[in-house]
Structure 1
Amino acid sequence: MAEISIVQQHTLSPAAARTAAEQVAQRIATEYGLACQWDGDVLRFERSGVEGALTLEDQQAAMRINLGFLMGAFAPAIEAKVAEKMRKTFAA
């Protein structure tokens, strides 16, 4: 099992950070077929072989993704794509 952890600093208001998180979630949900659901300030997502969460805090967004055995082979590519999307979205 591969684990990806990405932390992106931001200066967004809580509402703007939530909107940004939804943009990131929409992108990865579409690309990887994930189901997403808010649990307070934590956006949880999953599908067979993938589960994780995007946690919003005052000045940062933290993404944790656990990949099953088959998806683990794609961990570097997934991490690069998600990190870039988070950087672009939260640093705006």
Structure 2
Amino acid sequence: MASIDIQHPHSKTPAQARKAVESMAKKLAERFDMDYGWDGDTLNFSRSGVDGKIALLADKLRVTANLGFLLSAMKGPIEQEIRRVLSEKFD
């Protein structure tokens, strides 16, 4: 099982950061049939083959995910896409 751990700085207010993460989660849910929900300042998401979290910290986001066997082979492209979306939403 492969894992992803990405930290991305941001300068948004907590409300702005939460709104941006919620927007990303909705798109992921529609595109990949993913379930998600908030636990405090952490958004948990899952679907077959992946379990992960996006933690909202004061000055950064931390994205962690465990990829199942089939998605492990796609770790590189998945990380690149996460970084691209984070740059788009938080830079």
Say whether the fold is shared (TM-score over 0.5).
yes
Aligned match of 1:20? 20
TM-score, normalising length: structure 2: 0.93
TM-score, normalising length: structure 1: 0.92
The aligned runs of 1:1-92 (5 Å cut-off) are: 1-91=1-91
Aligned Cα root-mean-square deviation (Å): 1.1
What do residues 34-83 of structure 1 show as CA deviations (whole Å, max 9, x unaligned)?
Answer: 10100000000001110000000110011001100011111111110111
Q: Cα gap change, 1:33/1:52 in structure 2, threshold over 3 Å: closer, same or farther?
A: same
Q: Percent identity?
A: 37
**Matches of 1:41 and 1:55 in 2, distance apart?**
6
List alignment gaps of at least 5 residues for structure 1: none
SS in structure 1 at match of 2:15: helix
**Matches of 2:78 and 2:32 in 1, distance apart?**
10
**Matches of 1:44 and 1:4 in 2, distance apart?**
14
**Matches of 1:81 and 1:42 in 2, distance apart?**
20
Q: In structure 2, give the amino acid aligned to 1:17.
A: A
**Matches of 1:6 and 1:34 in 2, distance apart?**
19
